[in-house]
Amino acid sequence: GKANMLSYDIVFLFCLYFVFYKFMMLFSTYEDSTGIWYYDRFRPLLEGALNLIMNIVMVSVWGLSGVLLSTIISMACFSLPWLLYNIMTHVFDDYVRDYMRFLFKCAIPVFFCSMLSFALCRLFVKGSGLSVIMEFVVCICICLFVSFLIIRILFHKTEEYRWTVRKLHAFG
């Protein structure tokens, strides 16, 4: 029932955790495929220790939000930069700062799309009297439209966007 539903701040933290978790999986694939485990041998232990300490401190203050927040902080501020540094210096011979700038430049529109889609879904769906399935369909349509529109507006002049469009046109 409604009494057992999580609040929106916890759902938001779960979404943020999912994003950082998937980034970690993506970069770990590069690490695993190139065999640079030696440079990364202490990262999981140190991240786990940092996460455990922050969990103990934050769970007493914020509960479940504290656990999620401490995990996100340990991933975003410790593990992800370490992993990126290893990949950029030992695999790609590139600067981590430039790649982090690129990721941040792409993350801002993603965050903006997510917040705008969430707000529009709440505006148009909440209290509309639609069935649960129709609410879901309307929300998916809103999310897709907002995402495509913002990506088109912000990235249509970039080489990455043009490359993606060329590849998509090759399919059809």
| Among the listed residues 41, 44, 40, 45, the one whose alpha carbon sits nearest the alpha carbon of residue 85 | 40
- Reading phi first (left if > 0) and then psi (alpha if -120 to 50, else beta), residue 100 is in alpha
Per-residue pLDDT, 1: 66
Q: Cα 159 to chain center, whole Å?
A: 23
Query: Can you give 119-131 as a three-state secondary structure string?
Result: HHHHHHHCCCCCC
Instruction: Give the containing element (helix H, strand E) for 2.
Output: none
Number of Cβ atoms within 10 Å of the Cβ of 157: 7
Distances from the Cα of 50 to the Cα of 2, 47, 72, angstroms: 34, 5, 11
Q: Are 120 and 142 in contact (CB under 8 A)?
A: yes
pLDDT averaged over 10-residue windows placed end to end, the chain, 172 residues: 84 92 90 87 93 95 94 94 88 78 86 92 86 91 94 90 92 79
Give the per-residue pLDDT at 5: 85
- Burial class of residue 64 in the structure, from the number of CB atoms within 10 Å of its CB (0-12 exposed, 13-18 middle, 19+ buried): middle
Q: What is the structure's pLDDT at 31?
A: 87
pTM of the shown model: 0.77
Q: What is the pLDDT of residue 8?
A: 86
